[in-house]
Structure 1
Amino acid sequence: MAIRRDALAARREALGFTQETLAQELGVELSTTGRWERGTLTPQPWRRPDLAKLLKVSLDELDILLNPPQTTTTGRSSATRREVMVDAALLTGVIAADHMLGTHSEEPLRQQATLVSASAGVTDLHRKYQAARYGDVARRLPEVNAAVDALVAGGPARQRREALGLQCSVAIVAAKLATKAGDGEAGWAAAERAREAAESAEDTFGLAAAAYQRACALLRAGDSENAEQIAVSAAAGLRGQDPQSATWRGALTLISSVIAARRNDFAAARERLDHADELARWLGADDNIGWTAFGPTNVLIHRTSVAVALNDPRGTLATAEQLDITALPVGLNGRQAQFHLDSAWAHAQLVEDPQAVIHLLETERVAPELVRANPNARSLIEDLLARERRRDVPALRGLALRTGVAA
């Protein structure tokens, strides 16, 4: 029975490779890298040195990624198989070191983190954030942050640049979490830490990610003018003709389109959305490079958000009808929830309360933590309650109780 190599996939994602770009670098078919990760095919010995080099691991560490432990469970587990495997990947660097040294240690992860284990930890944080599991991210963040900081401060000199890249990436998670919670000041501080780490690492895409989070933090704090300037400037500075450059140009262009809409500049918002759409079509797929989820579906989600910002409920729903939300990569619960929230707002504006509640229930289903914490969702539920018709929308009262809007 094939065992999925989720730690191998996590390592690839952490370094910004898609299955396609990794296949291109190695000169193999796209299906080959997918089969490696599904566990139905194992890289031939002569492929492994090149694969290890691209993944920036030793051959011993690669061997562990290719031979994950087989776990058997009884009863129902609260963790998915993928989560279990990713968490197991946190130990791969330590295990590899023990194999080479012939020793075994039970020190905490933060005391013996390696580049591989720290990278898997950061990947796990990003994945959980995109799944809208914000409580899990908040609990895990300090440990992973400490492990990464220890690598930067005392890790091997030859690995310092990649350790700084991880430091940037974990600061990006912290910035996202703070901004999501409504703390623009803390979001800005974390984004600035990301920028400093990216500058030290000379990481172009880390700087792009930091710029995006700085813009988000400023927008949350009400400084849309500087937020827009940062986003537009950062996008203009990315001139590469490669998937990562196109992805970050597109992501920064999308946030600037939302900012333009909030200041009622329909022309600028539409022009930027069209430019982002061109970049997404050039990429050709809904990918998740750099944890951006950028692609054609994400552009449509932002078109609905722009219509919301322009107070255009009919335009919001017209765009939503073009969306196949299932086209997004698995695990992007936060993006799915945003689509449902925007749709709920539009229906509520048109006094179509049953449809609004249906979308709110879908928001709760895919991202329960988000609907409980999001001020826009709570405000929308309050507005619907104010004109509640229980016979038409019987599920509204239960939703309000579960989210704490009603006592």
Structure 2
Amino acid sequence: MGIQRTAFAARREALGFTQETFARQLKVELSTVGRWERGTLTPQPWRRPRIAKLLQVSLSELDVLLNPAGTELVTRRSSATRREVIADAALITGGIPVDHVPGAGTEEPLRHRMDHTRVSAQVADLHRKYQAARYADVAQRLPSVSEAADALVANGPARRRREALGLQCSVAILTAKLATKRGDGETGLAAAELARVAAEKAEDTFGLAAAAYQRTCALLRTSGMKDSEQIKDAEEIAVSAATALRGQDPQNVTWRGALTLISSIIAARRVDDVEASERLDHADELAQWLGVDGNIGWTAFGPSNVLIHRTSVAVTLHDPRRALATAEQLDITALPTGLNGRQAQFHLDSAWAHTQLAEDPEAVIHLLETERVAPELVRTNPNARSLIADLLARERRLQVPALRGLALRAGVAV
């Protein structure tokens, strides 16, 4: 029986790779990556420099990820020296000089590397739980993980300061997400600002993009539908951040797409249907270029996410028929596993549209699906509770027998 390499999988996910995209980069079968992570197969030595490069770790760190239980895995490697392995890999990966291979020539104490690896895995795990809509679990663990990231910035080795700042930024992003999700825009804005500061110190382009995205979300949460100044500020942040990203690599494309999607929601808030549609179309072009429903930077950006935002734009514009017509184009079950929050948003938008059209049974079905994939969201989300209350006010028990139980579980009825 293999040793589950959860930290290895968490590191892959933190960098936005699915098993499929990771396998594609390494030119191996999808099942091979799965076997690596389940511990039933170990990467050959000549593959490890390429794996380390993709995971942005040293070879020693990779050994820790592959050998989490302290077994004799490292000693069972081939008799080739480390430099020979790196030299062989340089040929395979396009002639990367040895001095530029992650981990080459470093004698950094393993204790420090393990600390960074452990905190990185914890941060990735919290992001994963947030996307799975396990908000209470995230809130409980966030303070200790934040403290660990801060300690690495303050006391970690100087040569790894940028990595530690990246973790600090990622924790602040998570804090902003959680606060905004719970309706606390002010705290979300403060956390997003902390993320921006950490990203600037780390000279992290994509950390800055993530901070801009969360500042935008927090501003939208603190503004009312008619608060033009707040909406204007949010829009300027999102559009400027998207414009600053010019690369054609997956990370640049992903963050431009994510920021363009949030700016389409803002255009809809301004009741500018034309601008919202143009931005959605641009985001769709970026998603089609990407070609997959990825999760780089925990954005879940891809073709399916564009359709989810098209539905949300229709809801924001108070157009229930368009919302449902768009929703019908999406197979929500095709989303990558674990994106419960995105699935829940799709079902909430669909429930709203059916409610507007007095199609109460269909609305309740979507609310029950929301509860199934994200039970915490139904109990805490003001939009979900408002929908349940509206349906309850015109309840017809013979047509919607499940509504009363749903309202009780959500705390809307007593």
Bin for the TM-score computed over the shorter chain: 0.7 to 0.9
**Contact map agreement 1:113 1:151 (CA 8 A) in 2:** no
Q: 1:52 is matched by which residue type in structure 2?
A: A
Per-residue CA distance 1:143-184 (angstroms, 9 max, x = gap): 000000000011000100010011110000000000011111
How far the C-alpha of 1:61 sits from its partner, in A, is: 3.7
1:92: which partner in 2?
A: none
Q: Name the residue aligned to 2:287.
A: 280
- Describe the superposition over 1:75-110 as per-residue Cα deviations: whole angstroms up to 9, x where unpaired: xxxxxxxxxxxxxxxxxxxxxx9x968xxxxxxxxx
> How far has the Cα of 1:352 moved from its partner?
0.5
Q: Which residue is equivalent to 2:259?
A: 252
Query: 2:202 and 2:113 mapped to 1: Cα distance?
Result: 22
Give the letter for the 1:157 counterpart: A
Instruction: Give runs of aligned pairs for residues 99-248 of structure 1, distance below 5 A.
Output: 114-222=115-223, 223-248=230-255
How many Å apart are 1:225 and its aligned residue?
1.3
Matches of residues 295-334 of structure 1 in structure 2 within 5 Å? 295-334=302-341
Specify the code of the residue in structure 2 equivalent to 1:313: P
Give distance in 1, aligned partners of 2:54 and 2:315.
Answer: 43
Q: What do residues 367-407 of structure 1 show as CA deviations (whole Å, max 9, x unaligned)?
A: 00001111011111111111111111111111111111111
Shift of 1:51: 2.9
Structure 1 window deviating more from structure 2 (50-59 vs 192-201): it is: 50-59
Would you say 1:383 and 2:390 are equivalent positions? Answer: yes
State the SS of the aligned residue for 1:114: helix
Task: Confirm or deny: 8 A CA contact 1:113 1:147 kept in the other structure.
Answer: no
> What is the CA RMSD across the aligned residues, in angstroms?
2.3
| Alignment match, 1:45 | 45
Partner of 2:86 in structure 1?
none
Q: How many equivalent pairs are there?
A: 371
Counterpart of 1:121, as a letter, is Q
Sequence identity (%):
78
Displacement of 1:42 after TM fit?
A: 1.5
Amino acid at match of 2:144: E
Q: Residues of 2 paired with 1:307 and 1:148: CA distance?
A: 40
Deviation at 1:66? 1.7
Q: Which SS does the other structure have where 1:331 is aligned?
A: coil
The worse-fitting range, judged by mean Cα deviation, of 126-135 and 21-30 is 21-30
The answer to whether residue 293 in structure 2 is matched with residue 292 in structure 1 is: no
Deviation at 1:326, TM superposition (A): 1.2
Tell me which amino acid in the other structure corresponds to 2:14.
A
Aligned to 2:73: none
SS where residue 177 of structure 2 aligns? helix
User: Aligned-pair distance for 1:25?
Assistant: 5.9
- Separation (CA, whole Å) in 1 of partners of 2:380 and 2:162: 36
How far did 1:47 drift?
2.5
Return the match for 1:406 from 398, 405, 413.
413
Q: Return the alpha-carbon distance in structure 1 between the equivalents of residues 271 and 56 of structure 2.
A: 47
Deviation of 1:11 after TM superposition, in Å, equals: 1.2
How many Å separate the matches in 2 of 1:310 and 1:100? Answer: 55
Write the distance in 2 (CA, Å) between the matches of 1:142 and 1:339.
Answer: 30
**Distance in 2 separating the partners of 1:318 and 1:397:** 28
Contact 2:64 2:114 in 1 (8 A): no
Alpha-carbon distance, 1:46 to partner = 2.6
Give the TM-score normalised by structure 1: 0.86
Counterpart of 1:323 in 2: which secondary structure?
Answer: coil
Q: Which residue is 2:351 aligned to?
A: 344
CA contact 2:7–2:118 (8 Å) conserved in 1? no
Q: Which residue in the other structure is 2:74 paired with?
A: none
List alignment gaps of at least 5 residues for structure 1. 71-96, 102-110
- Which amino acid counterpart does residue 269 of structure 2 have in structure 1? R
Residues 290 and 8 from structure 1, CA distance in 2 versus in 1: closer, same or farther, beyond 3 angstroms? same
Distance (Å, rounded) in 1 between the aligned partners of 2:17 and 2:275: 32
* Cα distance in 1, alignment partners of residues 16 and 363 from structure 2: 37
The alpha-carbon distance between structure 1 residues 100 and 292, as it changes in their structure 2 partners (threshold 3 A), is: closer
How far has the Cα of 1:23 moved from its partner?
5.1
* Structure 2: distance between partners of 1:121 and 1:380: 35
> In the alignment, is the contact (CA less than 8 A) between 2:61 and 2:114 conserved in 1?
no
In structure 1, give the amino acid aligned to 2:233: N
Cα distance in 2, alignment partners of residues 336 and 195 from structure 1: 28
1:190-209, CA deviations, whole angstroms, 9 ceiling, x for partnerless residues? 00000000000000000000
* Alpha-carbon distance, 1:58 to partner: 4.6
Amino acid at match of 2:140: R
C-alpha distance 327-3 of structure 1, shift in aligned 2 (>3 A): farther
- Given the superposition, is the C-alpha separation of residues 190 and 2 from structure 1 closer, same or farther in structure 2, using an over 3 Å criterion? same
2: distance between equivalents of 1:112 and 1:3?
21
Contact 1:121 1:144 in 2 (8 A): yes
Asked if the contact 2:14/2:296 (under 8 Å) is kept, the reply is: no
From 247, 263, 273, the equivalent of 2:270 is 263
What is the SS of the residue equivalent to 1:267? Answer: helix
Give the letter for the 1:365 counterpart: R
2:375 equivalent to 1:368: yes
Distance 1:274 1:53, change over 3 A: closer
CA distance in 2 between partners of 1:369 and 1:119 (Å):
26
Q: Is the 8 A contact 2:16 2:294 kept in 1?
A: no
